[in-house]
Copies of this chain bind each other. A is one copy, B any other.
Amino acid sequence: MKKITIVGAGLAGSLLSVYLAKKGFEVNVYERRSDMRKSSKGGGKSINLALSTRGIHALKEVGLYDEIKKIAIPMYGRMIHPVEGDLSFQRYGKDDSEYINAVSRADLNISLMELAERNPGVKIHFNERCSGIDFKNSEINFHNELTGETTLVKSDIVIATDGATSAVRMEMQKIPRFNFAQHYENYGYKELIIPSGEDGSFLMEKNALHIWPRGSFMLIALPNPDGSYTCTLFLAYDHSLGEENSFEYLNTEERADTFFKKQFPDAYKMIPEFKKEFFNNPTGTLMTVKCFPWIYEDRIALLGDACHAIVPFFGQGMNAAFEDCTCLNDCIDKYGTDWKKVFNEYQKQRKINSDAIADLAQENFIEMRDLVSDKEFLFRKKIETELYKKYPDTFIPKYSMVTFSRIPYSVALQRGKIQEEILKELCAEADSRESIDYGKAEKLINNRLEKLL
Contact = CB atoms under 8 A, between A and B. Distances in A.
Interface of A: 165, 170, 173-174, 176-184, 237, 285
Contacts of A173: 170, 182
Contact of A180 (B174, B177, B181, B237): B181
B184 A174 contact: no
A32 B174 CA distance: 16
A388 B178 CA distance: 42
6 contacts: A170-B173, A176-B184, A177-B184, A177-B237, A178-B182, A181-B183
Contacts of A165: 174
A390 to B, nearest CB: 40
Nearest to A176: B285
Contacts of A182: 173, 178-181
Contact of A179 (B176, B177, B184, B237): B184
A173 B174 CA distance: 13
A173 B183 CA distance: 11
B177 A183 contact: no
5 A-B pairs with least C-beta separation: A181-B181, A177-B184, A176-B285, A180-B182, A179-B183
A20 B263 CA distance: 51
A176 B178 CA distance: 22
A248 to B, nearest CB: 13
A325 B184 CA distance: 28
A135 to B, nearest CB: 16
Contacts of A183: 179, 181
Contacts of A178: 182, 184
A265 to B, nearest CB: 31
- Residue with the greatest number of chain B CB neighbours at <10 A, chosen from A177, A183, A285: A177
A182 B176 CA distance: 10
A367 B423 CA distance: 41
A294 to B, nearest CB: 15
A214 to B, nearest CB: 23
A19 B134 CA distance: 40
A445 B176 CA distance: 45
A165 B165 CA distance: 18
